[in-house]
Amino acid sequence: MAGAFGSAVSATVGLLNLHYAFGVPWLGSERLWLEWWIGNATGILTLTPLLLMLQPRWPHWPLRQWLEGLLWLGLLLVVSWLVFISPTPLLLAYLPFPLAIWAAFRFGRASVALTVLVITSAATWGLLNGRGPFANGLGGDASFISLQAYICTFALTSLTLAAVVAEREAIAESLSQEKEKSERLLLNVLPAPVAERLKQGPATIADNFSETTVLFADIVDFTRLSERLSPTELVILLNDIFSEFDSLADCHGLEKIKTIGDAYMVVGGLPEPRPDHARAVAEMALDMQAVIAQFTDSEQQPLRLRLGMHSGPAIAGVIGRRKFIYDLWGDTVNTASRMESHGLVGAIQATHASYKHLYRDYDWQRRGLVRIKGKGYMQTYLLLGRKSLSPPPRLPKTSSLSVAP
């Protein structure tokens, strides 16, 4: 539109200048204006798209596409010569159109603009030298008008096709990016295997795992801490702590289930079963103690955790239609939660089930029988660290029969 309007303005101004400055009569001015306008529009259609689409860098094509591009360019030059320049030209003016279509679908708008420039240059040179389909029998202005009409038709058709293809590719790219965003968001909520199953559309996702280890971690004195910090400071602190825990879960190949206030829940052995689930959870628990020591409260005192773990079977699945989550159920979950809530400050308390998996490779302190809410008395152990030759550190001695507060 801009090219047509600019060409019309140029033709009008030029015609007025010829009449008033040089005394050219008005007779035949309509034909002259039309030829002038077509000439300007042809030049704009030929050169402007290429100038606008030139890129400072070469496209990042694979080798196969570069070879295809060289083949296309070679055919473009050969067809241009055969149709418009050859002493015995082929009278097939529309033979270059398939090459423009090829360029639009395979190489982008810049290649289509180059096609228009090459064809326009070859056709114009051929007519000026009495060759090509537009130099046969027409003569005079008719040959030039036919050439200009051909160039306009070829350029408009080719460039419009290139624009449509480019817009379609841009829409496809935008849809692909949105799909990737949606999938990344889904993977932030669900494990990858579960997300893949959910995309396939099963009505219910529920799995039974015979061997898992569940870990709960809770920040000690969080209520008191929340009273001393502003809402923004509190959220920033929790985000920093839990982000570190998320990194640990990824590092150890564990599945974060959720956070509840200042509590963090993670599990090993699902959604993909693994024989070392207890060991991976124990390693993360020890690393969590090291991480939390780097954070301080409002009085610059290191924060501390209370951790509890238990090994056993569990059921995992996706529940809800809105804000759905991948959650965990079963006695194993409840027992692990009780190990945390009835544990000691700064300690990792485990049941005998977890202890059986780990006693060979880690140092332990036997806490003794502890009365657990809803469970009665249970034998529990405190994980001290990885087994070493030196004596392990001892936590404050607890009675063999103790009741957690």
Which one is catalytic: 38, 241, 257, 262? 262
Largest CA distance in the chain: 120
Domain membership of residue 317 (yes or no) is yes
- In a structure prediction context, what are the per-residue pLDDT tens digits for the chain, which is 405 residues long? 545 555 555 556 555 655 556 555 665 565 555 555 555 556 666 666 665 666 666 677 888 888 988 998 999 999 888 888 887 666 678 888 999 999 889 888 888 888 888 888 888 788 777 777 777 665 666 777 777 778 878 888 888 898 899 888 889 888 888 878 777 776 666 777 777 766 676 667 778 888 999 999 999 888 888 888 888 888 888 999 999 999 999 999 998 988 888 899 999 998 888 999 999 999 999 999 999 988 877 667 788 999 999 999 998 888 766 767 778 889 999 999 999 999 999 999 999 999 999 989 999 999 888 888 888 899 999 999 988 755 555 555 544 434 333
Residue 209 and residue 149 share a domain: no
Residue 203 and residue 123 share a domain: no
Which one is catalytic: 38, 151, 218, 297? 218
Residue 293 and residue 144 share a domain: no
Residue 110 and residue 202 share a domain: no
Q: Is 207 a catalytic residue?
A: no
User: CATH number for the domain including 303?
Assistant: 3.30.70.1230
Residue 116 and residue 79 share a domain: yes
Quick one: residue 198, left, alpha or beta (phi over 0 = left, psi -120 to 50 = alpha)? alpha
Q: How many CB atoms lie within 10 A of CB 347?
A: 22
Cβ(367)–Cβ(347) below 8 Å: no
What sections of 107-139 are H helices per DSSP? 109-128
Picking from 131, 148, 182, the residue at the C-terminal end of a domain is: 182
How many separate domains does the chain show? 2
Residue 154 and residue 57 share a domain: yes
Domain membership of residue 83 (yes or no) is yes
Q: How many CB atoms lie within 10 A of CB 393?
A: 9
Picking from 157, 182, 207, the residue at the C-terminal end of a domain is: 182
SS3 376: strand
Q: What is the pLDDT of residues 24-61, one digit of tens each?
A: 566 556 555 555 555 555 666 666 666 566 666 667 78
Q: What is the pLDDT of residues 63-110, one digit of tens each?
A: 888 898 899 899 999 988 888 888 766 667 888 899 999 988 988 888
Residue 220 and residue 151 share a domain: no
Domain membership of residue 125 (yes or no) is yes
Residue 217 and residue 303 share a domain: yes
Residue 160 and residue 202 share a domain: no
CA–CA dist 191, 188 (Å, integer): 8
Which one is catalytic: 219, 241, 292, 348? 219
Domain membership of residue 188 (yes or no) is no
Domain membership of residue 54 (yes or no) is yes
Residue 373 and residue 232 share a domain: yes
How, if at all, do strands 325-329 and 255-260 pair?
unpaired
Q: Is 218 a catalytic residue?
A: yes
Domain membership of residue 191 (yes or no) is no
Domain membership of residue 193 (yes or no) is no
Which structural domain, as residue segments, surrounds residue 222? 198-403
Picking from 147, 182, 217, the residue at the C-terminal end of a domain is: 182
Element (DSSP H or E) covering residue 378: strand 376-386
Whole-prediction pTM: 0.59
Residue 215 and residue 158 share a domain: no
Domain membership of residue 276 (yes or no) is yes
Residue 150 and residue 114 share a domain: yes
